[in-house]
């Protein structure tokens, strides 16, 4: 099938499909006139790539997990658990950092409110 139909079936844009190919995540066959032709296996691979991106993986990170993208690697794949655990650790660190920033903003907000309240009561 051609790119438009493939993108529609996957719920993504044709541009995303081209990007997956450009960054080396997919190798799509071409017709004689140069149109990309997607097989069912290509759709499954693109779906897996999309799922990894949705869970926070970059295309560079996904390339290191190429064995997890093919139909042969659709189940448990070499390094898959390790990579997912690394991603989870990264997300946890980001989450803790965001929580620290949130607390800092709340502290500054409380300080400003106290200062404004004191100014209003002394004025």
Can you give the residue ranges of every domain in the chain?
A: 1-77, 79-123
Terminal alpha carbon distance of the chain:
74
What number of H helices and E strands is found in the chain? 5, 2
CATH topology classification for 1-77: Multidrug-efflux Transporter Regulator; Chain: A; Domain 2 (1.10.1660)
Each residue of 8-65: pLDDT tens digit? Answer: 999 999 999 999 999 999 999 999 999 999 999 999 999 999 999 998 999 999 998 8
Structure tokens at 20: 């997956």
pTM to 2 decimals?
0.74
Residue 75 in 3-state DSSP?
coil
């Amino acid at each position: 099938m051609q790119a438009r139909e493939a993108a529609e079936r996957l719920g993504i844009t044709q541009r995303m499909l081209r990007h997956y190919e450009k960054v080396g995540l997919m190798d799509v066959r071409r017709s004689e006139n140069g149109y990309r032709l997607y097989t069912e296996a290509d759709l499954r691979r693109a779906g897996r790539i999309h799922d990894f991106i949705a869970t926070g993986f970059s295309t560079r990170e996904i390339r290191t997990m190429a064995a997890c993208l093919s139909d042969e690697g659709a189940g448990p794949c070499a390094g898959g658990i390790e990579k997912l655990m690394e991603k989870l650790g990264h997300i946890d660190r980001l989450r803790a950092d965001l929580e620290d920033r949130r607390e800092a903003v709340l502290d500054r907000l409380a300080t400003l409110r106290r200062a404004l309240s004191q100014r209003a009561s002394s004025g």
